């Protein structure tokens, strides 16, 4: 257990610029963080949040005893389903993989890229909320599951922000002009070995957003309080094992307007990280992000279970 904990990113590596720490004198201007936590100044609060997130930096790679083995193990270790790639130093080198030799069914292991939009806005009660979707039950994969708007990158996308914004428009009808993309989080790896980049965007004028779900992909559009993902309330975890490694899958139960949703897996992992960055504190529960070794041969059906 201690070795697992040691490999976790430090929960205190949430970048808090010195210029925005709480001032010592009461006569000084309010700090960015105090504005962020002030529910009575919506426009100032969202502006402060945008300023804070623009200064966010990804956690550095973890230094551990396995670092010397990176060259040998490159391409064979990935992060936990729904956890950040930086928690595993070898996982960051996956894109260096160019060739895996084997049978005709084997293929080069280079994760395809995708992006999701964490669209944050000010709720009527003054809390920060995030837009979520329930996927259509007619989809062949992840049908009926809760997800963030997003999808795989297209050749025409300039970057991850382009991908996330484009997909949000296609899935939920979110006008790109309404979203201020302020930062990206470190990549996550899905169970299908897809590299997913979370993009945090601010929706200042929530009334201007007219939800228009794409019926082929989205069954429902709803929102949830962002802070719930770093609270014990409505949180549970399930221990699983894959190729000899134990890990936790996180679940959050959420109910709104007589509808119940379960937010779990990759989506839960991304939102735990996003909430930790926004509120500048870690969750009170253990994330347990171990190493996974991908089989030396992978094909289109390889998944983490």
For 242-285, the pLDDT digits (tens) are 767 788 999 999 998 889 999 999 999 999 999 999 999 999 99
Edge-to-edge strand ranges of the sheet holding 235-242:
235-242, 245-256, 259-264
What are 131's strand-pairing partners? Answer: 223
This prediction's pTM: 0.72
Q: What is the mean pLDDT of residues 128-135?
A: 96
CB atoms closer than 10 angstroms to residue 273: 26
Residue 30 — pLDDT band, cuts 50, 70, 90? Answer: low
Is CATH 1.20.120.1200 the right assignment for the domain spanning 2-293? no
Write the CA distances from 124 to 80, 188, 241, integer angstroms: 35, 31, 41
Write the CA distances from 180 to 26, 162, 183, 300, integer angstroms: 32, 12, 9, 36
User: Among residues 111, 191, 108, 194, which one has the least CA distance to residue 151?
Assistant: 194
Burial-class residue 201 by CB neighbours within 10 Å (0-12, 13-18, 19+). Answer: buried
Please tell me what DSSP assigns to residue 87: G
**What's the N-to-C CA distance of the chain in angstroms?**
21
The fraction of the chain above a pLDDT of 70, given in percent, is: 61
d(CA 3, CA 156): 43
Write the CA distances from 50 to 56, 81, 173, 227, 298, integer angstroms: 10, 28, 23, 17, 40
Degrees (nearest 5) of the Cα angle 295, 297, 303? Answer: 55
């Amino acid at each position: 257990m201690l070795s697992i904990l040691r490999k976790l990113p430090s929960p205190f590596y949430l970048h808090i610029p010195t210029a925005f720490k709480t001032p010592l004198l009461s006569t000084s201007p309010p700090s960015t963080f105090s504005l962020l936590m002030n529910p009575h100044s919506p426009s100032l609060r969202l502006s402060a949040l945008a300023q804070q997130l623009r200064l966010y930096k990804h956690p550095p790679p973890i230094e551990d005893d396995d670092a010397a083995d990176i060259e040998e193990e490159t391409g064979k270790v990935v992060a936990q389903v729904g956890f950040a790639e930086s928690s595993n130093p070898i996982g960051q080198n996956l894109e260096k993989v160019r060739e895996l030799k084997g049978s005709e069914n084997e293929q080069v292991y280079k994760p395809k890229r995708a992006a999701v939009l964490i669209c944050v806005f000010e709720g009527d009660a003054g809390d920060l909320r995030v837009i979520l979707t329930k996927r259509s039950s007619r989809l062949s994969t992840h049908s009926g599951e809760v997800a963030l708007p997003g999808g795989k990158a297209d050749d025409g996308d300039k970057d991850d922000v382009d991908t996330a914004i484009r997909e949000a428009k296609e899935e939920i009808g979110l006008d790109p002009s309404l979203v201020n993309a302020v930062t990206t989080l470190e990549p996550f790896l899905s169970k299908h070995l897809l590299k997913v980049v979370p993009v945090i965007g601010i929706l200042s004028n929530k009334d201007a957003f007219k939800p228009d779900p794409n019926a082929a992909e989205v069954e429902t559009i709803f929102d949830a309080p962002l802070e719930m993902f770093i609270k014990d309330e409505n949180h549970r975890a399930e221990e699983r094992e894959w190729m000899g490694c134990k890990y936790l899958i996180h679940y959050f139960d959420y109910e709104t307007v007589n509808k119940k949703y379960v937010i779990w897996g990759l989506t839960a992992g991304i939102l735990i990280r996003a909430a930790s960055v926004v509120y500048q504190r870690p969750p009170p529960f253990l994330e347990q992000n171990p190493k996974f070794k991908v089989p030396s041969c992978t094909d289109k059906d390889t998944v983490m279970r």
